[in-house]
């Protein structure tokens, strides 16, 4: 992930402990989600500003918690 951040780390400075790859690449987040890290774990988080099409035609709410979401 150091290269993702645009960091060039010399060999003598290996104590930075950057991940070998971008952990977000392994996740399949939806268009209305974003990848982030919480409590040391990467996951997909709901975009609170996402607008559903025809939102007024649904009598439901979407709630995200931890790594799952529910519609009620």
Buried b (16+ CB within 10 A) or exposed e, 43-56: bbbbeeeeeeeeee
Domain boundaries, the chain: 23-51+59-72
Distance, in Å, from the CA atom of 2 to the CA atom of 17, rounded to the nearest integer, reads: 9
Reported pTM: 0.45
Return the pLDDT at 18.
61
Return the pLDDT at 1.
47
Return the pLDDT at 25.
87
Return the pLDDT at 34.
86
List pLDDT tens digits, range 6-22: 655 555 445 555 666 78
Percent of the chain's residues with pLDDT above 90: 0
């Amino acid at each position: 992930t150091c290269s993702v951040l645009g960091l060039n780390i010399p060999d003598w400075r290996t104590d930075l402990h950057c991940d070998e790859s971008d952990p977000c690449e392994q996740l399949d987040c939806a268009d209305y989600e974003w990848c982030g890290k919480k409590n040391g774990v990467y996951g997909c988080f709901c975009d609170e500003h996402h607008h559903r099409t025809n939102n007024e035609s649904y009598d439901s709410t979407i709630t995200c918690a931890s790594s799952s979401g529910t519609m009620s």
